[in-house]
Amino acid sequence: MQVEKLRIAIIQMDIAFGDARANREKADRMIRQAAATGTDLILLPELWTTAYDLTRILELADNEGQETKEQMSRLAKDLNVNILAGSVANKREGRVYNTTFLFNRRGEPMFTYSKLHLFRLMDEEKYLAAGSEIGQIEVEGLPCGTMICYDLRFPELSRKLALAGAKVLFIPAEWPHPRLHHWRTLQMARAIENQMFVVSCNRVGRAGDTEFFGHSMVVDPWGEILCEAGEEEQILHTEIDLKLADTVRQRIPIFEDRRSDLY
C-alpha cells in the first residue's frame, strides 16, 4: 500500500578522506540517532565511505558493495527504517561505480543505481565508470526516483523519472563551493518543472582546497523550500505530504499540456 506521508531524515555529514572505517562508524552513529527520533527513510550523502579519494579508489572501493550492503541492511532491519544509502565507490568486474543502494525496513536490498553522468571537474571520468540504468525506485509503495549529484544538471533525467510516476526525487551529493547558487536553483527548478518533492543530502567539510557547503534540503512540488540545512554537520528531519504533488499537478496540468508530439 502506498503511504500518504513520509518522514525523512537527512544525514548531512563530514566525510574523512579515504577513511572508510571512520566514515562507517560515524554513519552508524548518525543513522541510529536519526532513527531514534522516528523516521521512515534515512538518506546519506554521495561517496560517504571514501569521499573523492579517487587516486586510491580501486583499493578503497567496496567489492560488489558487500560491506555497505551488510552494514546498511543490518541497520535498516534493526531500526525498522528504509535507508537510501547515499552512494559508495562500488567495485564490480574491475571497474568502480558511484552507486547507491536502497534497503527496506526488513533490511532487504530493493534497488541499486549507479551515477549516470561523471563529473569531469572532479576527475570522475578518469577513475569511475558510469551507470547504465535510471534510478526508478519505490519506497513504502510510493514511486520515487534517485540520481546522484551532477545528474541534477540533466533535466531530461528527472523528467523521465516523473513520467514514470515519481513524486519524490532523492539526491545524495558532494557539491562544493562556489556553486551554491546552482545547487539551490536547480533543485527548485526540478521540483517546479516536475511538480515533485526534491530531497537532497550534501556533505559538509573540506577536501584539500574544496569546501563542501551542505545546504541539504527538501523542496516541495510548488518549489517552496520546506527545510534547508546550514554548513555544519547535522541531521535534518522533515515530513512530506504526498497529496501536495497531486494538488499541484491538478492545478497546473503540465503533464497533460506538454507537447510530446513535438519534443
Q: How many CA atoms lie within 13 A of 259 on its CB side?
A: 2
Residue 127 in grid coordinates: 577513475
Report the relative pairing of strands 197-202 and 217-219 from DSSP bridges.
Answer: antiparallel
- Whether 149 is catalytic: yes
Nearer to ligand LYUYDEPV, 40 or 53 (CB): 53
40 part of the interface to ligand LYUYDEPV, by CB under 6 A: no
Question: How many residues belong to the site for ligand LYUYDEPV (CB under 6 A)?
Answer: 11
- Whether 227 is catalytic: no
Nearer to ligand LYUYDEPV, 209 or 257 (CB): 209
Distance CA 26, CA 32 (A): 10
Q: Which of 91, 124, 144, 149 is an active site residue?
A: 149
120 part of the interface to ligand LYUYDEPV, by CB under 6 A: no
174 part of the interface to ligand LYUYDEPV, by CB under 6 A: yes
User: What is the smallest separation between the CB atom of 191 and ligand LYUYDEPV, expressed in angstroms?
Assistant: 17
Q: Which of 26, 69, 115, 167 is an active site residue?
A: 115
Looking at 1-9, 57-65, 145-153, 255-263, which segment touches ligand LYUYDEPV (CB under 6 A)?
A: 145-153
Cis peptide before 221 (omega within 30 of 0): no
User: What is the smallest separation between the CB atom of 230 and ligand LYUYDEPV, expressed in angstroms?
Assistant: 19
**CA distances in angstroms from 150 to 153, 161, 174, listed in the order given:** 6, 16, 9
Q: Which of 124, 71, 66 is nearest to 97 (CA)?
A: 124
149 part of the interface to ligand LYUYDEPV, by CB under 6 A: yes
> Among all chains, which residue has been given the C-alpha cell 514514470?
164
User: What is the smallest separation between the CB atom of 118 and ligand LYUYDEPV, expressed in angstroms?
Assistant: 8
182, 206, 243, 258: which one contacts ligand LYUYDEPV (CB under 6 A)?
182
User: What is the smallest separation between the CB atom of 84 and ligand LYUYDEPV, expressed in angstroms?
Assistant: 17
- Give catalytic residue positions: 46, 115, 149
- Where does this chain bind ligand LYUYDEPV (CB under 6 A)? 46, 119, 122, 149-150, 153, 174-176, 179, 182
